[in-house]
Amino acid sequence: MTATTDGTGALPPRVAEAGQSTTAPPGAATDAEPPKGREAVERATARAVEHLLTRQDPRGWWKGDLETNVTMDAEDLLLRQFLGVRDEKTTAAAARFIRSRQLPDGTWATFHNGPPELSATVEAYVALRLAGDAPDAPHMTAASAWVREQGGIAATRVFTRIWLALFGWWRWEDLPELPPEIMYLPKRFPLNIYDFGQWARQTIVPLTIVSALRPVRPAPFGLDELHTDPRRPNPQRPLAPATTWDGLFQRMDKALHLYHRFPVGPLRRAALNSAARWIIERQENDGCWGGIQPPAVYSVIALNLLGYDLHHPVLRAGLESLDRFAVWHEDADGAPVRMIEACQSPVWDTCLATIALADAGVPADHPALVRAADWMLDEQILRSGDWAVRRPELPPGGWAFEFDNDNYPDIDDTAEVALALKRVAHPDPARVERALARAARWTVGMQSRNGAWGAFDADNTSPFPNRLPFCDFGEVVDPPSADVTAHVVEMLAVLGKRHDPRTRRGIEWLLGEQEESGAWFGRWGVNYVYGTGSVLPALVAAGIPASHPAVRRAVAWLREVQNPDGGWGEDLRSYRDPEWIGRGASTPSQTAWALLALLAAGERDSEAVVRGVAHLTDTQAEDGSWDEPYFTGTGFPWDFSINYHLYRQVFPLTALGRYLHGEPFADERLEG
């Protein structure tokens, strides 16, 4: 076979990537070392337990860094420039991080070993210009030349051009229009704000204010070098045919631009005030919005434009919350480096760490597990949020992902927290049972019409938001996914609801979603390895026998895509290119997901499991940790990728623990 590339310089699937392993068919001869004995697995598990215990906060939670890409850092500097609060220390530290992520060709990617990405490169370049990097410096000329080759600023996504428009580097007239009057569309009307997923909703509402006011602050320099032709920076593109959805929405956007020139004054002012009130009502106790950085950034800008000065309590708290997204460290020369997290994941990390430790044999009444349970119990959300728009009669009872995000609990965290709490022998079991009952009631009530579960809302499946010219980046709706549904099914099974009709509907949906290959798509993790690693344990916990055809097809697929080194990996390009499905350099987290699926399917003594376990023991560091530069988490498939720094610890430990001690709740399943 002749090796080819995908245009990014990356080697194709099946060919060693960056010196890493390739895949081999089941039963093929490999150069893997002989399987390790139980003693080696026990030693690796003990080291991993000790390492994870040392990382627990005294208050009971765990939190690993959440790494995304340099657009977070660039936009943070642009925000500070816009507000007039950018300082040299912060700028220099952010610039060091941005430079550290630049590729040899002068570009920036959005995930480790990924291809160059235009919008990320433009935003990083502008941030470095703010930091004082000269446009004729070699690393800057390489970046600007590549940007021009790709079509210049005109080819970037809408969000990048919005940031540039704030400083006059792009014309507001050449951006899609999104008027604040959208606030008044009824909840049953297509394209009302609740048709958007929670993350998009929180971003779009403040952007309607920005779009209406079209501010321009003085630019500190020009960006002609990022245009293919500075005299014509935005060549007009032809409209799609009017008979197509794209053509219809393009013409709608032209009509909205006309309305922007001649708005109904009283209606526009009322809409701006309504949008501002909506934003302020959703500010969390810690000052942030939704616990994630992008809505907070745009909310601060929007309210500032409406006259809220930086000393106003709302804006002061908002800016302070953004500072908490900063992770500081030192580079090899001792200089400060600053990375911005898109959000923080303490609830998610804590429930996963609790599961990992319990499954690894840590006693259920261990003080660390009890502290974790106490903290998680205190984090349960007992008031309604935006989810109640579609479920107004449903009592609350979920958990969010972050420290403070009471408006937006999510179904995935709720299911995993419940599974974690079931593993802890808490001194107040009645308190735990009350929390679990609330969680089960809320989660069941959030089931969508098709029997599955999305992440934040029920039936958030409108086809229209993704059609808007404004929404050219990432997912803006929240349809049900296999991984979230699987976690809910597993939770309901463990809580004794295996035979509940709603659980059975979830199982039927999962069985119907299985790909022809035997795998399941991973919405919130990369990708089919994650989906399959989520679904198989859930199906078995819910009573599907290991001999079921769906289980056997999934097992066969996992065996087929195992790498010769015994591990599993899947590149983020699998979201766009089917040739990458199940293929990539072995990583600790993805190896663990495959092992969790195989162990649930009764494959403990199979060659695939033994080799996978050996891979984890072989690649563990002396301190009990694992290294994982690859991004295995997903914000938006392909568009926004995440490296959860705790994944490399919790999932391998869970897999080793289940290999040693068997499946959790196995006795209850047998009795059921």
Q: What percent of the chain has pLDDT over 70?
A: 94
> What pLDDT sits at residue 243?
84
Task: Specify the pLDDT at position 669.
Answer: 56
pLDDT digits (tens, 9 = 90+) for 141-162: 999 999 999 999 999 999 999 9
Picking from 437, 463, 497, the residue at the C-terminal end of a domain is 497
Residue 403's pLDDT band (cuts 50, 70, 90): very high
- Tell whether 12 is covered by a domain: no
DSSP conformation class of 386:
G
Q: For residue range 649-662, what is the model confidence (pLDDT) as tens digits? A: 999 999 999 999 99
How much is the mean pLDDT over the chain? Answer: 92
Q: What is the 3-state secondary structure (H, E, C) of 225-269?
A: HHCCCCCCCCCCCCCCCCCCHHHHHHHHHHHHHHHHHCCCHHHHH
Cα gap 369→367, rounded to integer Å = 5
Kindly state whether residue 472 falls inside one of the protein's structural domains.
no
Q: Which of 242-256, 477-491, 604-618 has the lowest mean pLDDT?
A: 242-256
What average pLDDT does range 292-314 have in this prediction?
96
Whole domain around residue 252: which residue ranges?
69-230+242-340
pLDDT at 27 over 80: no
Nearest to 196 by CA among 207, 209, 205: 205
Does the pLDDT value for residue 257 go beyond 90? no
Residues 350 and 285 in one domain: no
Q: How far apart are CA 189 and CA 377, in angstroms?
A: 38
**Per-residue confidence (pLDDT) for residue 536, from 0 to 100:** 98
261-301 confidence digits (pLDDT tens): 999 999 999 999 999 999 999 999 999 999 999 899 999 99
Tell me the pLDDT tens digit for each residue of 79-129.
Answer: 999 999 999 999 999 999 999 999 999 999 999 999 999 999 999 999 999
Per-residue confidence (pLDDT) for residue 668, from 0 to 100? 62
Residue 8: per-residue pLDDT: 41
What is the DSSP track for 169-185?
SS-GGGS----GGGGGS
In a domain, 465, yes or no: no
pTM score, whole prediction: 0.92
Q: Do 355 and 428 fall into the same domain?
A: yes
Whether residues 332 and 361 fall in one domain: no
Does the residue 507 lie in any domain?
no
User: In CATH, what number is assigned to the domain containing residue 424?
Assistant: 1.50.10.20
Rounded mean pLDDT of 610-626? 97
Mean pLDDT of 300-321: 97
- Tell which of 340, 371, 387 closes a domain: 340
**Residues 216, 295 within the same domain:** yes
pLDDT for res 237:
75
As a whole number of angstroms, the distance between CA 505 and CA 450 comes to 8
How many domains are contained in the chain? 3
Encode 559-574 in three state secondary structure. Answer: HHCCCCCCCCCCCHHH
Whether 239 and 251 have beta carbons less than 8 Å apart is answered as: yes
Same structural domain, 428 and 519: no
In this predicted model, what pLDDT tens digit does every residue of 207-237 receive, in sequence order?
Answer: 999 999 999 999 999 999 999 988 887 777 7
Contact between 592 and 537 (Cβ < 8 Å): no
* Mean pLDDT of all residues in 555-581: 97
> Which of 306, 340, 374 represents a domain boundary (last residue)?
340
Catalytically annotated residue among 76, 253, 404, 412? 412
Q: What is the pLDDT of residue 1?
A: 30
Residues 392 and 301 in one domain: no
Active site residue 349: no
